[in-house]
Chain A
Amino acid sequence: EAGVTQFPSHSVIEKGQTVTLRCDPISGHDNLYWYRRVMGKEIKFLLHFVKESKQDESGMPNNRFLAERTGGTYSTLKVQPAELEDSGVYFCASSRPPGQGNTGELFFGEGSRLTVL
């Protein structure tokens, strides 16, 4: 099966500009997560969708970040306006619904690297 895909792989923008990152989860995966790693820090959870609903958005750093998952398929993460400290790698992950004999494992994409100048 196709894995989690993220676009763009790398984005370079100036402070104050807007960037939108996209994540296409594995087909049939209801759960979709966003994580990020900023320079020198651990990978941190941002939020979790179950289908189109936000299940947990406790990791969203501030209101400059907006995540959507219209229709419960792909998701976007918009940063507006971007700040220098937003630079890092943004990972998307998806997983199957609970049950169905699955392990609950998360499948991660390769990440979108964001550089804010």
Chain B
Amino acid sequence: DAKTTQPNSMESNEEEPVHLPCNHSTISGTDYIHWYRQLPSQGPEYVIHGLTSNVNNRMASLAIAEDRKSSTLILHRATLRDAAVYYCILRDTQGGSEKLVFGKGTKLTVNP
């Protein structure tokens, strides 16, 4: 079972920032927080990941709470192409299974 909790859906306007929350209260010390997204009719796509510190890349930013029990994916300026289902996933690569456990994710709608 997925070890994360996300809202089922969120809505945003184009050009505005979007903050997608994720709760993972049972996170262990070796779990990385990964975010993937799935655009319609495509396979999942990696967005970003982090362990303890906030992370930035060309796609998004990841803000991780100090206690690591929650995190937020930040899209700085949403575009119509960002409409997708976003998955927050804990991944333990320290001797555990490397598989990704997908939950239901958050369906992001971006309004023009």
Contacts and interface: CB of A to CB of B under 8 A. Distances in A.
Contacts of B97: 48, 56, 58
- The contact size tier of chain B is 20 to 34
Interface string A21-49: 00000000001010100000011110010
A16 to B, nearest CB: 28
B80 interface: no
Given A42-B102, A42-B103, A42-B104, A110 B43 contact: yes
Interface residues of A, number: 25
Is chain B's binding surface mostly helix, strand, loop or mixed?
A: loop
Given A104-B91, A104-B93, A110-B41, A45 B100 contact: yes
A56 B101 CA distance: 14
Interface of A: 4, 31, 33, 35, 42-45, 48, 55-56, 58-59, 91, 93, 98, 103-111
